[in-house]
Amino acid sequence: MKKPKPTMTPVVISDDKLQFLKKKVDDPNVLQFLKRDFIRETMGGTCSICEEPPTKIATYRMEGISVIERYCGKCLEKLSLK
């Protein structure tokens, strides 16, 4: 089934939280699965495609249910959902 066009909302996160997260994600000593945990904790989830920190939340309304996906800027470009 083709997904309908989603409603896009930005991921809202405070600057210090974002800085903290960036430090963790850019740290080569932090294990990948821990980075994912940090992203999930801070932003509510990772990008649905590449697991990077998401910038937008896409809400798909499908037959009465809402399906929520998160995407980063790069994947949004590819999906051209902007």
The contact set with Zn ion (CB under 5 A) reads: 47, 49-50, 52, 72, 75
* Dihedral pair phi/psi, residue 7, rounded to 5°: -90, 130
Decide: helix, strand or coil at residue 55: coil
Residue closest to 24 by CA, chosen among 40, 13, 1, 8: 40
- Closest to Zn ion by CB, 16 vs 80, is 80
Shortest spacing between CB 48 and Zn ion, in angstroms: 7
Nearer to Zn ion, 30 or 81 (CB): 81
Instruction: Give the nearest distance from C-beta 72 to Zn ion in angstroms.
Output: 3
Q: Please identify, using beta-carbon distances, which residue of 39 and 75 lies nearer to Zn ion.
A: 75
Closest approach of Cβ 64 to Zn ion, in Å?
A: 28
DSSP 9-41: EEPP--HHHHHHHHHHHH-TTS-HHHHHHHHHH
